[in-house]
Chains A and B, each alone.
Chain A
Amino acid sequence: MIEEVVSAHLPVGETLRIQKNRIEGAEPKKRRLAIVTGTHGDELEGQYVAWQLARVLKKRQPLLRGTVDIYPALNPLGISTIYRGLPGFDLDMNRIFPGSSEETMYEYIAGGIIEDIAGADLCIDIHASNIFLREIPQVRINEQSAEMLLPLAKFLNMNFLWVHSAATVLESTLAYSLNSLGTPTLVVEMGVGMRITKSYGDQLITGILSVMSQLFMLEEPCPPVAPPIVSTDGNVAFVNANASGIFIPRVRHEERVEEGQLLGLIADPLSGGVREELHSPASGLIFTLREYPVVNEGSLIARILGGAL
């Protein structure tokens, strides 16, 4: 059933509606899982997951216990305008939670979303990367919530669980706000902006079904999932460009590299020269790789997951 979460009138003849697809099984009030995506308008990987998960669950409805709410678009105007942020607004949507009824329309909308999700047994907040970087399927967990979230995150069928340090600015994210309210929330990152990677989406759907079995929301055996690599910031090496130009990769995403290996070049098409050669600072797995070729000084090129692999 399609339900309205929160809405506000736009200036000219249109209403901004945040909607969800509620799928109920037996004992609908006993358990609730929230699947949310579309906070950033250029992140579309979750669109496939929302669509396909709804189809999978409808087929399994006789086995379903509790309620699954799928929120496919927290930022519908961003998705419809191919815009990462909130059209006409300076702040990133994932920096205005838990929202407010005293500020702007978007903060009012954010407040309505939080109110609707709060109290769920689990929330899974699905992000793609932006248009610049390609990511392997991963779960990102703030170290403050790691103890609560890691046990469930391991069933999500993602390749990598990244426990990252707590930055004050992240306190205004959806995940932080919900975790603070006692609603466990896992953040998934996978793929690349403005594209859908079907294999990653299918992998996550298997993980969601697995987590649902763990939460006793599916009366069927837990589908098999591969154990993820669990890592902290200390195991992640960053490679940034030190010159502007065009990035030409010499490695592939998800490839294992050796320390010192050439990752790519910053090319200068004007002169035919090479402005910079970028080498891996560590041996390990390339879990993030630059997708968009134009780079400025400082642009992120790759993240390498090193250590015991």
Chain B
Amino acid sequence: MKRKTLFTIDAQPYRQPIPVYGYFFGSEEKTLAVMGAIRGDEFQQMYTAAKLVQELTRLEAEGKIIGDCGLLVIPCAGQFSMNVSRRFWPLDNTDINRMFPGYDKGETTQRLAWRIFEALKGYTYGIHLTSLYLSGDFIPHIRIMDTGWQENAEGLDFGLPYLITRKPRPYDTTTLNYNWQVWETRTFSLYTKATDFIDEKSAQEATDSILRFLTRHGFLKDVPLPEGEATQAVSEKNLVTIRNTCGGILLHCRPTSSQVQAGEIIANIVDPYTATVLEEIRAPQKGTIFFARHAQIIAAQTIVFRLIPG
């Protein structure tokens, strides 16, 4: 393993220059790169990348990375925000993951996106450990932007429960995932269960899934790993969105991953003054809870669940 300073963020005079490190393994080839936390609350993403650094360091020392394979892991590029408890860039609240491919002469977060992208460009495979714009619990999964350049079948090689394909919306076109693909890297977003707290089981599952991908593609040898799951591919447009019509306190009845029946109550919206049930949120059909909003109180007309039918 070689640790290199990819760039530093100038934060003088009141904060010191902040380094962003890349951890390199194997050869000089650009085989696979993993981007960890970009936002300041992506603790789970940083931790997952850190666990991967730990695992790859051990595997490299044991000679289990094949000769021409070169790997890069960037655990965190969000230190400036993370150290002051902010999700986005603290000065202007902009999101680095809405600034790709970046611009080296542009605004601060455009420059940071450009520097991150310079480090990540040219790899055959790219994995971004990312988080959604809505707080909630997911079943761990791989997500691929359906840009027309992607290879969906490779998303099955992680052995995670689901592979979700998504047609990009205009605001997706400035994300790392979208631009990485445009620059001809086969790109996957890996969503674990958590974002702003550490979920050890889910972090281990994500780390194992990346090692499984590397093994299945012949870049690692003789690495015993859990078998993984038979991944089910689902287009995002086929997910069933369950929304609420009342605002109030949100009380979940069934956790993520639950199998639910048509008509089953899966959450209640409760009056914040009287605790009476204002709305029963029912599953419109049989399926698996793929996403559940994480919120104590919730406004009306909002996604509460996403269900995988069947």
Contact = CB atoms under 8 A, between A and B. Distances in A.
Interface stretch (B11-19, B157-165, B183-191): B11-19
Contacts of B247: 8-12
Given A103-B303, A105-B299, A298-B110, A90 B10 contact: no
Given A132-B92, A271-B13, A299-B107, A102 B298 contact: no
- Tell me if A's interface is mostly helix, strand, loop or mixed: loop
Contacts of B298: 11
B261 to A, nearest CB: 23
Interface in B1-48: 9-14
| B107, B173, B243, B272: residue with the most chain A Cβ atoms closer than 10 Å | B107
Given A169-B170, A297-B9, A11 B108 contact: no
Contacts of B224: none
Contact of A9 (B11, B106, B134, B246): B246
Contacts of A297: 9-10, 108, 111
Contact of B173 (A13, A132, A169): A169
A279 to B, nearest CB: 15
Interface in B107-140: 107-112, 133-134
Contacts of A10: 247, 299-300
Nearest to A77: B299
A296 B11 contact: yes
A298 B80 CA distance: 14
Nearest to B134: A104
A1 interface: no
Interface in B133-162: 133-134
Interface string B282-306: 0000000000000001111111000
Interface in B57-96: 87, 91-93, 95
A11 B107 contact: no
Interface string A57-97: 00000000000000000000000000011000111000110
Nearest to A103: B303
A275 B174 contact: no
Nearest to B14: A270
A293 B134 CA distance: 33
A169 B171 contact: yes
Interface magnitude class on chain B: 35 or more
A31 to B, nearest CB: 31
A10 B295 CA distance: 13
A149 to B, nearest CB: 20
A176 to B, nearest CB: 8
B11 A96 contact: no
B13 A269 contact: yes
Nearest to B245: A9
| A102, A105, A168, A296: residue with the most chain B Cβ atoms closer than 10 Å | A296
A143 interface: no
Interface residues of A, number: 44
A245 B247 CA distance: 44
B177 to A, nearest CB: 14
B91 A268 contact: no
A299 B112 CA distance: 12
Contacts of A172: 169-171
Interface stretch (A46-54, A209-217, A224-232, A236-244): A236-244
Interface in A14-73: 16
B50 interface: no
Contacts of B272: 11-13
Interface in A191-218: none
Nearest to A269: B13
A238 B105 contact: yes
Given A8-B300, A96-B171, A169-B173, 5 more contacts: A13-B272, A90-B134, A268-B13, A298-B108, A298-B110
27 contacts: A8-B299, A8-B301, A9-B247, A9-B299, A10-B247, A11-B247, A11-B298, A11-B299, A12-B248, A90-B87, A91-B133, A105-B300, A105-B301, A130-B92, A168-B170, A168-B174, A169-B98, A169-B171, A238-B105, A245-B12, A268-B13, A269-B13, A270-B14, A275-B12, A296-B10, A297-B10, A299-B108
Smallest CB-CB A-B distances: 6 pairs: A298-B108, A11-B297, A9-B247, A90-B133, A9-B300, A171-B170
Interface of A: 8-13, 16, 84-85, 89-91, 95-96, 101-105, 108-109, 130, 132, 168-172, 238, 240, 243-245, 268-271, 275, 294, 296-300
Interface of B: 9-14, 87, 91-93, 95, 98, 105-112, 133-134, 169-171, 173-174, 241, 243, 246-249, 272-273, 297-303
